[in-house]
Structure 1
Amino acid sequence: MPFKKLIEPLKDTITQKGFDEPLAFQKQVLSKIKGGASLFAIAPKDAGKTTSMVISVVQKLKAAFEDAPRALIFVKDKEAALALELEFNLYKRGTDLRVYCAYEEYDIENQRDEIYVGTDIVIATPKRLNKIFYLNGINLNKLQMCIVEDAEFLFRGSHFAEVTRTPESIGKCQYLVFSTTFDKRFERWQESFMYRAQTIKAKL
């Protein structure tokens, strides 16, 4: 998908950042994400994975809508959540999309209250997201996109199991997993909620 097909605020931001056309990997994944496909997007560092994801979420959601989040993005820790929030704040300029970060180092009651007020995009660590969910602190019924960023972290500790719980609680959704490698443990997801997912690997 060329940048010229994006919504105007995104095109303006991309132009200001000096990007003329998508990187090779972005050309592979942007149109598929726009078309609604679930993907395992496998590419090395600096291939444009994070930018592809941020552009795709902003392009799909376009504007604030009701209170429940429509995109959920799992990240490894607080630092990753805050860094991704900065990226979204850059690319959502000109829209009224709302982004919220949920991580362990913050009072969970405050997080639950702040999410209740309304947000479009939630960036969360798996453990904290599940705690908020089981406290009835987040409505996942409107979710359209469930994403894992830099998915290598899933295989340390209990993260893989924590993320696997989420699809059990939501209906039809687009799943996107961004990683530098395809781990064989992803095959478990291919056998369940990601059974129709495509695997896109960067052409080097």
Structure 2
Amino acid sequence: MPFKKLHSHLLDCLAHQSIETPTPFQKSSIPIIKSGSNVFCFAAEGSGKTTTLILTTLQKLKCEAVGNAPRAIILVENKTKVLELYDAFIPYTQYSTLRIYASYEQLHIDVQKSEIYMGIDILITTPKTLQKLFLTNGVSISELKICSIDDAEFLSKKSDATSLIVMAESIKKCQFVIYAEKSHPQLNRLENHFMEHSKLVQK
């Protein structure tokens, strides 16, 4: 069964990459994420979690640039993960107006602030860098529609989890989607903060 009810730009991108059929995880998770619910997504490596994250993020933003403040934030563990995910987005954004920005601790904060100020749609960063940007007025979260955490096992580190929780408390209305291979106690505790009434997809 082919992908259904996705933006025509995304269907074109999938066809260009000869991706015709969703994985079992994608078939289960994409409709639930599209519904706007907070979602925990647990599935093994190779199940299509990263492609799901990309497709649902771009679907949420209708594959077009709007305004200057980011409408999607994706949190990952470190610079390596930031750059890997940035590269994974390129086949889906290079022929659109969407502006995607890679942010990490090793890049001077003033450089990041000035480049973000020029206008972005998607921010890929780490919890600590996002908190630093926010506390120095380097990024606005007023237009945020979706926040995803990829390979969220790294949130077992208390400092990363704390940075995320602090940021989430400042976000008034936003969908959160957490991707990991399996649950762990630190992820479960997020239900007490910003993942209340969340749904679960597990494959």
TM class, shorter-length:
over 0.9
Q: Is residue 133 from structure 1 mapped to residue 113 from structure 2 by the alignment?
A: no
Secondary structure (helix, strand or coil) at the match of 1:158 reads helix
The two structures have a TM-score, normalised by structure 1, of 0.95
Deviation per CA, 1:67-106, whole angstroms, max 9, x where unpaired?
A: 0000011111111101101111111233211101110111
Supply the distance in 2 between the matched residues of 1:186 and 1:10 (Cα, whole angstroms): 30
Conserved 8 A contact 1:13-1:91: yes
Residue 22 (structure 2) aligns with: 22
Secondary structure (helix, strand or coil) at the match of 1:122 reads strand
Supply the distance in 1 between the matched residues of 2:137 and 2:118 (Cα, whole angstroms): 14
Residue 34 (structure 2) aligns with: 34
Unaligned runs of 5+ in 1: none
Supply the distance in 1 between the matched residues of 2:5 and 2:92 (Cα, whole angstroms): 15
Deviation per CA, 1:3-35, whole angstroms, max 9, x where unpaired?
A: 242112211110111111100000010011111
Structure-to-structure mapping, 1:35-184, within 5 angstroms: 35-61=35-61, 62-156=63-157, 158-184=159-185
CA change 1:157–1:191 in 2 (3 A) is closer
Supply the distance in 2 between the matched residues of 1:195 and 1:2 (Cα, whole angstroms): 32
Aligned residues: 202
Unaligned runs of 5+ in 2: none
Conserved 8 A contact 2:69-2:139: yes
RMSD across aligned C-alpha pairs, in angstroms?
1.3
Supply the distance in 1 between the matched residues of 2:200 and 2:68 (Cα, whole angstroms): 32
Identity rate, percent: 37
Supply the distance in 2 between the matched residues of 1:92 and 1:164 (Cα, whole angstroms): 29
Conserved 8 A contact 1:9-1:92: no
Conserved 8 A contact 1:100-1:122: yes
Supply the distance in 1 between the matched residues of 2:190 and 2:106 (Cα, whole angstroms): 29
Conserved 8 A contact 1:2-1:27: no
